[in-house]
A = this chain, B = another copy of it.
Amino acid sequence: MAPHPVVELTSEASWNLIEDKFTPYGKETLAKLVHFLQDEILPSMKLAHAQVPKDSVQRWKTVVPVIEELKVKARKLGLWNLFLSKTHYPEHGVPLTNVEYAVMAEILGRGGHIASEAVNCSAPDTGNMGSPEQQKKWLVPLLNGEIRSAFAMTERFVSSSDARNIKTSIKREGDEIVINGHKWWISGAGDPRTKLHLVMGKSDPDNANGYLQQSVVIVPADAPGVKIIRPMEVFGYDDAPEGHCEIIYENVRVPMSNMVLGWGRGFEIIQGRLGPGRIHHCMRSIGAASRALDLMIQRVTDPTRKTFDKFLYQHGTVVAEIARSRAEIESARLLVLSAALQIDKQRAKGALKEIGIAKFVVPAMACGVVDRAIQAYGAEGLSQDQELASMFAGLRTLRLADVHIQQVGQRELKRAPGLHKRAAELKEKEFSVLSKAGIKAHL
């Protein structure tokens, strides 16, 4: 009997645990996605790379043809905007829970950014957005896959992982909003289809509450004063055409109606993006790690590879690395799925510890698994002939935030008063038990 297609790409044990959380629609969509990945996306990946020119100017003007073709096919199959909840967006959304979409995100993670783009589930576009007017103008074409967007948060010369440090200014002048700031690492800003930037800045820098100082404004990509300085590279990759750009916003002016949600609600907006978004990132990373492990197994069982009179799979150390990788992938997946279920049951706020754990465990795990796969491939694993090195580069950027481990630790420490209370009760009972038995407790 052929293995269940989902089980083949995830694992039987984790599927057993969550299968009953899937609706028939969820199961059917997942099965379609698995086949679309294998039959359409994966076979197109080399072509997609080949269709980006080497030329350092042309590569930034490219709309990759094969991805556009994949998008048409995907939409026809109903594999479109899967990240978008029907509850919040009845017209364009789909009826999937976080757990259901999480499993699909893992599948997508096996196909890199091409897979996500093919089904219109790319990271920078998956935030929610604004007023009916804003939605009509920007969100609808985004959800149709006609344009793309960029979220401009990170700033140069500033430790902007703490949003309170952000320096970009957002000021009201007459009936316009004026934006000045210096951002970098703005993903997607290089893409010729990107028509809008969501720019985060300080609109009320003197507010006593550090979390009410920020606003987010829609800036058309072609507004005067938007200067794309250069693409940033990760290791030696520029990830054209999307890219991660350095951008200066110099006296950029937009109408008042471009304010998102309202003045001072910028922090709220990024918080909302981060909860489920982090789950998606984590699941895509797990998909990448799973793919890397598959590649590793293929390599070590390659009958043409033999060193020092043994095939690679005959080395106990290699076998142990494979087992360790499998165990790490399984446990990471279970962690993220349990966080996703927690979100489904209690919204993101009730799942902050689980999301935090996922955030510091998963990228490190995935980097480690991919690193082992690279090791099995030797120099080839580091080269353009395998997807492992660029996979590692992408995952490494997700491993940057050290703040999560401290936050999870702090959340654990909140259990201290309860534990002390219980320990005191226990001590008392223990004392009474010992006294009855006539034993003098040692202090």
Binding site for B on A (CB under 8 A): 3, 8, 12-14, 16-18, 20, 38-39, 42-47, 50-51, 54-56, 66, 154, 157-159, 161-162, 165, 184-185, 230, 232-238, 244, 293-294, 297-298, 300-301, 304-308, 313, 315-324, 326-327, 330-332, 334-335, 337-339, 341-342, 345, 351, 353-354, 356-357, 360-361, 374-375, 378-379, 382-385, 389-390, 392-393, 396-397, 399-400, 402-403, 405-410, 412-413, 415-416, 418-420, 422-423, 426, 429-430, 432-434, 437, 439, 441-442
Residue of B nearest to A382 (CB): B234
Shortest Cβ-Cβ A-B pairs, 10 listed: A236-B236, A319-B409, A43-B429, A334-B334, A316-B316, A323-B409, A331-B331, A236-B237, A235-B235, A323-B408
Residues of B within 8 A of A354 (CB): 13, 330
Q: How close is A441's CB to chain B, nearest CB, in angstroms?
A: 7
Residues of B within 8 A of A396 (CB): 374, 382
Q: How close is A331's CB to chain B, nearest CB, in angstroms?
A: 4
Q: Would you call A342 and B165 a contact (CB within 8 A)? A: no
Q: Would you call A319 and B237 a contact (CB within 8 A)? A: no
How many copies of this protein are present in the complex? 4
Q: Would you call A323 and B405 a contact (CB within 8 A)? A: yes
Q: Would you call B327 and A406 a contact (CB within 8 A)? A: no
Q: How close is A227's CB to chain B, nearest CB, in angstroms?
A: 14
Known contacts A306-B165, A338-B334, A426-B43; is A416 also within 8 Å of B298 by CB? yes
Residues of B within 8 A of A8 (CB): 418
Residue of B nearest to A407 (CB): B323
Q: Would you call A316 and B315 a contact (CB within 8 A)? A: yes
Give which listed residue, B54, B233, B400, contacts A384 with CB less than 8 A.
Answer: B233
Give which listed residue, B322, B330, B403, contacts A409 with CB less than 8 A.
Answer: B322
Known contacts A320-B409, A334-B338, A345-B16; is A383 also within 8 Å of B234 by CB? yes
Q: Would you call A416 and B47 a contact (CB within 8 A)? A: no
Q: Would you call B66 and A437 a contact (CB within 8 A)? A: yes
Q: Would you call A323 and B360 a contact (CB within 8 A)? A: yes
**How distant is the Cα of A341 from the Cα of B307 in the complex, in angstroms?**
31
Q: List 16 A-B contacts (CB under 8 A).
A: A13-B341, A16-B338, A17-B338, A46-B434, A54-B56, A158-B304, A185-B379, A300-B413, A313-B416, A323-B357, A323-B407, A323-B409, A327-B361, A331-B335, A334-B338, A382-B397
Q: Would you call B297 and A439 a contact (CB within 8 A)? A: no
**How distant is the Cα of A112 from the Cα of B403 in the complex, in angstroms?**
32
Residue of B nearest to A20 (CB): B20
* A236, A320, A378, A407 — most chain B CB neighbours (10 Å): A236
Residues of B within 8 A of A161 (CB): 307, 378
Give which listed residue, B154, B159, B326, B402, contacts A305 with CB less than 8 A.
Answer: B159
Residues of B within 8 A of A45 (CB): 430
Residues of B within 8 A of A400 (CB): 375, 378-379
**How distant is the Cα of A74 from the Cα of B12 in the complex, in angstroms?**
37
Give which listed residue, B317, B320, B402, contacts A375 with CB less than 8 A.
Answer: B402
Q: How close is A419's CB to chain B, nearest CB, in angstroms?
A: 5
Residues of B within 8 A of A384 (CB): 232-233, 236
**How distant is the Cα of A321 from the Cα of B38 in the complex, in angstroms?**
40
Residue of B nearest to A381 (CB): B400
**How distant is the Cα of A393 from the Cα of B290 in the complex, in angstroms?**
23
Known contacts A327-B357, A389-B235, A423-B298; is A433 also within 8 Å of B44 by CB? yes
Q: Would you call B297 and A416 a contact (CB within 8 A)? A: yes
Residues of B within 8 A of A432 (CB): 43
Residues of B within 8 A of A304 (CB): 157-158
